[in-house]
Amino acid sequence: MDKSSLFSALSLVSVFIYLFIGAYTFRLNTKSMVNRVFLLLCSSYAVWSFAYSFAYISDDKYIFSFWNKIAAVGWCSFSALTLYLVLLITENQIVKKRFVKILIFLPAVIFFYMAVFLFGVDIKTSILISNIFYIGNFSYNFLYLLLSITVLLIWGLKSKSVRLKKQSKLLVASSIIPFVLNLLTQTILPFLGASDFPLMGQLYSVIMILGTYRVISKYKFLRLPEQFLFEEVVKEIMDMVILLNDHGKIIKVSKHTLNILKFEEHELLKQDVGFIIDDNYKEEFSLCKMIGNNANYKDINILTKQGEKIPVDISCKPICDELYDLLGVIIVIQDISLMHDLRRKNEELQAYIQRVTEAQAELRFQYNQNVKSEKKLSISEEKFRTMFEQAPLGITLCDSLTGRFYEMNSKFAEIVGRATEEITNIDWMSISHPDDIQENIKRKSIFKDSILKGFNMNKRYIKPNGSVVWANITVANLRLEYQGNPSEICMIEDITEQKINEDALKASEYTFRKLFEGSSDAILIMEAHRVIDCNPAAIELLGYGSKNRIVGKTSWELSPENQPDGILSLEKALNINLKAIEKGKYRFEWWHKKENGLEFPVEIMLTSILVKGKQVLHALLRDVSERKLLEQKLEYLSYNDVLTGLYNRRFFEEELKRLNVQRNLPLTLVMADVNGLKLINDSFGHAIGDELLKKVGDVIVGGCRSDDIIARLGGDEFVILLPNTDAFETEQIVKRIKANALNEKVGSIEISISFGWESKLHEEQDIHEIFKKAEDHMYKKKLFESPSMRGKTINAIINTLHEKNKREEQHSHRVSALCKSIGKALGLSAGEIEELKTVGLLHDIGKIAVEETTLNKQGELTEDEWQEIKRHPEIGYRILNTVNDMAEIAEYILCHHERWDGFGYPKGLKGGDIPIQARIIAIADAYDAMTSERSYRSAMPEKIAIEELQKNSGIQFDPKIVRVFIETVLK
């Protein structure tokens, strides 16, 4: 087996080692971030080894390059993952910062990108990039691994735990070996000239992973000790539980503890346990005393967050690993407040029983001493028996040692569901629920061994039919004996219905709380107008950082001072709350205010409910900001023109109906039409046409009064509605508008508007007839004003084109002169020659629609740019065809790029079908283009240009005109 095959086999074996140890460690504690990152590290090594197992035996450079890039997943990421894992293991607080995580993994991402996209068989990589990659990658791996080893070493040295020191030593040792081997074989020896070492980092790293496995198996590294399954253990414990680390600091607190002490968890973490102990007892709670055997504290006081004292019993239990190293201390705190109350009540009960017992003994004594007292004694015993039997509680007397019943009242028999004869001489365990017996025994044991004279608990009894009855029992000692044994009195109260109700209430409260907290809708609970609870969605909606900032506030304190209708939020909220209480439910819209002052609309469903006899309001809030904006936008669009912002036809028609009444007469309608809009759209594009329409809208608004109605009916038509305005006033308004128009331009385009108007003077006149007459007047004006505007627009087009490209202006004049000369040489009439001059001057007017960058581009045009240039004859045709006396010139310009052989554009005309004027322009245009400087080439010599014309004679150009041009015009 050659070396390549050997390394390939070793790499493949290492894949299984990495995957086995990674999976094994992950299963030890799937919830631990450390175990997850360790699995990820093992996976990256596995990918690296797997890819190299193929790369080692690859003969083809492309296959090797492919596997090397797959391996980059591992060799680019393992150093960053190692450092991140070490920081997690050593509980370094810096790793919790997000930017630190980004900084740790950023080099891995950069080098992975470079390895995949900047290096390869067919990729030419500069020496600079190669040097940056190799030096940078070496520095990144070297520094990250060195830093990881250093952090582990310091962690072990600083730790006071023998177990952690041993873990640290083995981890550092197993990490240094591959680090040194890799540095030696890949850097130092190649630098000294020994280069026969393949890349084996993934094989060396097996040593570190095996060392980690040894630490896991021997020293329980990365395991979650069973003693620390804190939440799983304490969730069923009703006592308070606190977990300390090996330094005596609080690291875990049960929810029950937080509920009783009213602390937030973060307020207790990292504190000494003495933080919650009354000052009189703090000295007893040193770590040394707590880890002693049977470190128990009886009847001491702990403090709530508000400083209230709670009497408790405390038990401390040290937690050690298999090597007897201290892991921490678990503290169980039992609230004995109830026991104190019970002790007091029990003492009172004991005194009562003592008095009764003494009275009974006195009666018996009197009976023995004096027979005459027998009747009185009989009456007293009868009274006692009556009290015993008629008591509302079940009462029984039993043997303290055996637990057997020997006397009970009928209420006791009724509660446990058995006849008195059946119960006599059986013990209490025979009728108790199996799950409650141990607790009962435990309480009896505590009661027996302590100074307490009784105890109280809730327990279950089993009836003969198998049903269960819940009872609250109180047990106390008696100074009486039964068959030589001490006696107890037990009083029970049936609380089955109460327990059922409590369980149902807890289930209901749990369900409500889950729905409440998980609801995506914001919910506020209010009592006496103030918020008493809110869910996370409400905190987010109202923009407050926490629930504490909302609870206690009134709804108007969470709102602006006034609602949009001007009513005070306070006044309106009180009225709404009353309506909700009266009707049970009330839906309305409201404006709230976030903590940062931002106001926003909500829809609220307010429901009145009774909770424990108190009137509570349940408010369901939904943000309707987007709906409000959409409604406003739709309302605006339904009455306004999108382009100009003026009113639209719909609004105009509604206003016309509203204003068409006697009090608004005379009512004048003014029609306005923009002259030359189509020509401008064809020449300059629709964007310029839109700008012109917006400018016209501004001009009309500027000339009208503030309460005049101005609307755009569509296209180039506008209308002005003037109530209480006669023809004279209307004429003054139109003059103002026209004067404003003279001062405005869109680029080089002047604004021209034709107006026509008509006034309704009498109520019986039809407003639609008035509208039609105003429109007729406007069209008559347009007949005279529009041609003049078209002429001005064409001049503006020519000027704009020449401003875009000065060479076009010079080219147009030279082509015009050449056309004139060719016309003379062909013997055309003076009128035809003048027409040719004009055609030559205007032949490229369609280039006004071509982008300036395309006209002035240096170098070859793209296909799209060439197609854009080829459109200019058609655009020129459309521009000039709008002018009545230029229809023929427009036709010549349309055809001036047709070819003699029929392969020209845009119509593909051939030979004599092409107007002679267009054929002349084609030759003059081509000759001037060849002999003039262009942005993309130098001017041709005249001789070469003539040769080009001759070569294309009869193909592109009319042969007769070419011959006349060369022999006559150019001589």
636 closest CA partner among 626, 646, 627: 646
The reported pTM is 0.36
Say if 634 falls within a structural domain. no
553 closest CA partner among 533, 574, 569: 533
Instruction: Please indicate, yes or no, whether residues 577 and 678 belong to a single structural domain of this protein.
Output: no
pLDDT confidence tier of residue 367, bands split at 50, 70 and 90: low
pLDDT of residue 130: 86
282 vs 877, residue with greater confidence = 877
Mark residue 852 as left, alpha or beta (left: phi above 0; alpha: psi -120 to 50; beta: remaining).
Answer: alpha
Say if 589 falls within a structural domain. yes
* Range name among 70-84, 318-332, 704-718, 727-741 with the lowest pLDDT average: 318-332
pLDDT at 917 over 60: yes
Say if 709 falls within a structural domain. yes
Say if 237 falls within a structural domain. yes
CATH number at residue 780: 3.30.70.270
pLDDT at 611 over 50: yes
pLDDT of residue 710: 94
pLDDT confidence tier of residue 507, bands split at 50, 70 and 90: low
Instruction: Please indicate, yes or no, whether residues 477 and 604 belong to a single structural domain of this protein.
Output: no
Question: Which of 284, 302, 335 is the C-terminal boundary of a domain?
Answer: 335
**DSSP β-bridge partners for residue 957:** 953
The average pLDDT across 180-207 equals 74
Q: Which residues contact 787 (CB under 8 A, 6 or more apart)?
A: 883, 884
726 vs 627, residue with greater confidence = 726
**Cis? peptide before 906, omega within 30° of 0:** yes
pLDDT at 358 over 80: no
Say if 512 falls within a structural domain. no
pLDDT at 497 over 60: yes
Contact between residue 346 and residue 476 where contact means Cβ atoms under 8 Å apart: yes
The average pLDDT across 147-167 equals 80
Domain housing 598:
519-612
Instruction: Please indicate, yes or no, whether residues 550 and 652 belong to a single structural domain of this protein.
Output: no
pLDDT confidence tier of residue 887, bands split at 50, 70 and 90: confident
**DSSP β-bridge partners for residue 407:** 397
Strand segments (E) across 528-598: 530-534, 585-593
* Range name among 225-239, 260-274, 415-429, 865-879 with the lowest pLDDT average: 225-239
Q: How many CB atoms lie within 10 A of CB 280?
A: 9
Residue 749 dihedral angles phi and psi, to the nearest 5°? -95, 125
954 closest CA partner among 930, 929, 924, 919: 919
CATH number at residue 488: 3.30.450.20
Instruction: Please indicate, yes or no, whether residues 403 and 494 belong to a single structural domain of this protein.
Output: yes
**Total of domains in the chain:** 6
Instruction: Please indicate, yes or no, whether residues 304 and 440 belong to a single structural domain of this protein.
Output: no
Residue 116, classified by CB atoms within 10 Å of its CB into exposed (0-12), middle (13-18) or buried (19+), is middle
808 closest CA partner among 859, 835, 846, 834: 846
pLDDT of residue 904: 92
Instruction: Please indicate, yes or no, whether residues 231 and 160 belong to a single structural domain of this protein.
Output: no
203 closest CA partner among 53, 20, 55: 53
Report how far apart, in Å, the C-alpha atoms of 698 and of each of 53, 658, 738 are: 77, 25, 12
pLDDT at 872 over 80: yes
Return the SS3 of 317. Answer: strand
The average pLDDT across 544-563 equals 88
**Rounded Cα–Cα distance for residues 905 and 896 (Å):** 9
The highest-confidence range among 238-247, 819-828, 935-944, by mean pLDDT, is 819-828
pLDDT of residue 223: 45
Contact between residue 241 and residue 229 where contact means Cβ atoms under 8 Å apart: no
Residue 699, classified by CB atoms within 10 Å of its CB into exposed (0-12), middle (13-18) or buried (19+), is buried
Edge to edge, what strands does the sheet with 717-722 contain?
709-714, 717-722, 667-674, 753-760
Say if 479 falls within a structural domain. yes
User: Rounded to 5 degrees, what angle do the CA atoms 657, 658, 664 make?
Assistant: 105
Instruction: Please indicate, yes or no, whether residues 821 and 776 belong to a single structural domain of this protein.
Output: no
**Rounded Cα–Cα distance for residues 631 and 603 (Å):** 15
pLDDT at 136 over 50: yes
276 closest CA partner among 241, 243, 309, 230: 309
pLDDT in tens, 60-115: 888 888 888 888 888 888 888 888 888 888 878 888 888 888 998 999 899 889 88
869 vs 799, residue with greater confidence = 869
The average pLDDT across 908-930 equals 91
Instruction: Please indicate, yes or no, whether residues 655 and 731 belong to a single structural domain of this protein.
Output: yes
Say if 793 falls within a structural domain. no
pLDDT at 196 over 80: no
Say if 554 falls within a structural domain. yes
pLDDT confidence tier of residue 509, bands split at 50, 70 and 90: low
Instruction: Please indicate, yes or no, whether residues 211 and 239 belong to a single structural domain of this protein.
Output: no
**Rounded Cα–Cα distance for residues 435 and 392 (Å):** 27
pLDDT in tens, 574-585: 998 898 888 889
* Range name among 151-160, 227-236, 296-305 with the lowest pLDDT average: 227-236
> Any idea which residue has 């700008």 for tokens?
691
pLDDT of residue 723: 94
pLDDT > 70 in the chain, percent: 84
Question: Which of 185, 219, 253 is the C-terminal boundary of a domain?
Answer: 219
Question: Which of 458, 473, 501 is the C-terminal boundary of a domain?
Answer: 501
pLDDT of residue 225: 46
CATH number at residue 60: 1.20.1070.10
Instruction: Please indicate, yes or no, whether residues 231 and 213 belong to a single structural domain of this protein.
Output: no
Instruction: Please indicate, yes or no, whether residues 855 and 715 belong to a single structural domain of this protein.
Output: no
**DSSP β-bridge partners for residue 711:** 647, 719
pLDDT at 386 over 80: no
pLDDT in tens, 19-63: 888 888 888 777 778 888 888 989 988 888 888 888 888 888 888
868 vs 898, residue with greater confidence = 898
Q: What is the mean pLDDT of the chain?
A: 82
pLDDT of residue 359: 63
**DSSP β-bridge partners for residue 719:** 671, 711
Instruction: Please indicate, yes or no, whether residues 215 and 232 belong to a single structural domain of this protein.
Output: no
**Rounded Cα–Cα distance for residues 337 and 299 (Å):** 10
> Any idea which residue has 């900032």 for tokens?
549
What is the residue-wise DSSP string for 29-46? -TT-HHHHHHHHHHHHHH
What is the residue-wise DSSP string for 318-372? EEE-TT--EEEEEEEEEE-HHHHHHHHHHHHHHHHHHHHHHHHHHHHHHHHH-GG
